[in-house]
Amino acid sequence: MARLCEHSWWSGVTPAALVLLTGAVPLSGQGALNPTVAPRAAELARNGQRGVATEMLGRYLATATDDGSAWVQLGRFYLLDIRDWHAAGHSEESPGPLYLDFAAAAVDQAVRLRADSGLVLRHMLDLERGLVAIEEDGWAALATRPVPRDLPPLPDFILELGANLLSSCPSEGVVATGSDIEAVAVWAVAGGRSGGPLLIPSLYATDARYRRQMAQALGTDAEWPVQQALVAVAAKRPVCLTPHADRALLALPDLRPMRFVLVSGPGPAAGDRVVTVTGLLRAERQGASPWTSEVHGVYRAAAGFNPQLCEGPLALLGDTQSVTCRH
């Protein structure tokens, strides 16, 4: 601990994170729960005061340890800190990967308390650890990376989304995602252990370490921007854009709809696996997760470029009269 304290960033570690990482105090609900704390923290962060919000949550959670929504919010803040660290060029003045431990400690408490979003955030953190592994040892290192034993499964409807996106892409195709829910769904199903690479274009555009390693995996030049790199890849193998991928930014040639993705480049049709949305339908009827609307939004975006979905899977979801399907 003494060595850590030599760094200026250590002073910003919240009391809650310190308690969790050191195990100094057993976790139990000592303080009264205040349901306004998490929303207030979120509002502070939206106004550019994430550091203040993190400190406020930390001091509150150091005693009110049974507030699941506050743990979720704290985990989200540390996840944003991780992403800022990537975007800032992996500054040595930042705790960097240690944010992963802070975030995991917070999210594990949310999972313990069965808080909404805890499971999804836990898998987002596993994806972040995978990204760090890629930056250190390249994409190929993921083939032997074991799934953490303590990683709880994602809800069925999110795994269903990942399977639908992957099965829509031809074999060995590169899957380029455009949103967190798409990336975590694909990652949870494949995790770099089969098929072609999963690419996060926004990270490729901003993180030189990630770009260098992924360029090697794709067989392109790390000096090229993401659009130029994917155009070169599409000349040799399929590149699949998920529904929320930025088509204007990537500007790939000859995009064609294939189930839930847009495909550029050579390759056979998608496999014969039957796509389903029954997991989402069941979750929506139960009304138990805030992530159902996110997943449903991915399917609606897919219908925007593939109207055939309106008479297929989306009809089961009752979307045949939606604005997307009417047009």
- pLDDT tens-digit readout, 70-85: 999 999 999 999 999 9
Average pLDDT over residues 128-150: 86
Report the DSSP beta bridge partners of residue 240: 175, 263
Say if CB 175 and CB 199 are below 8 A apart.
yes
CA distances from 168 to 161, 162, 174, 325 (A): 11, 10, 12, 20
HSE value, Cβ hemisphere, 13 Å, CA-based, for 116? 6
- What average pLDDT does range 165-178 have in this prediction? 92
Query: d(Cα 282, Cα 21) in Å, to the nearest integer?
Result: 38
> Where do the DSSP E strands lie in the chain?
174-176, 198-199, 239-241, 256-258, 261-264
- Looking up tokens 């034993």 gives 149
Strand 198-199 versus strand 174-176 pairing type: parallel
Instruction: Indicate the pairing of strand 198-199 with strand 239-241.
Output: unpaired
Question: What average pLDDT does the segment 229-241 reach?
Answer: 95
Q: How many CA atoms lie within 13 A of 184 on its CB side?
A: 23
Predicted local confidence at residue 22, as pLDDT: 47
pLDDT of residue 184: 96
Instruction: Please give the structure tokens belonging to residue 261.
Output: 């993705």
Task: Decide: 19 and 31 in contact? Cβ < 8 Å.
Answer: no
174, 237 contact by CB (below 8 A): yes
Is the pLDDT score of 308 beyond 50? yes
CB 67 within 8 A of CB 39: no
Residue type, 110: A
Q: Which of 194-208, 221-235, 308-322 is predicted with the least confidence, judged by mean pLDDT?
A: 308-322
What are the pLDDT digits (tens) for 101-120? 999 999 999 999 988 789 99
Q: Band of the pLDDT at 267, cuts 50, 70, 90?
A: confident
Distances (CA, A) of 55 to 10, 64, 69, 108: 13, 14, 16, 19
Evaluate if residue 86 carries a pLDDT over 70: yes
Model pTM score: 0.88
Residue 10 has pLDDT above 50, yes or no: no
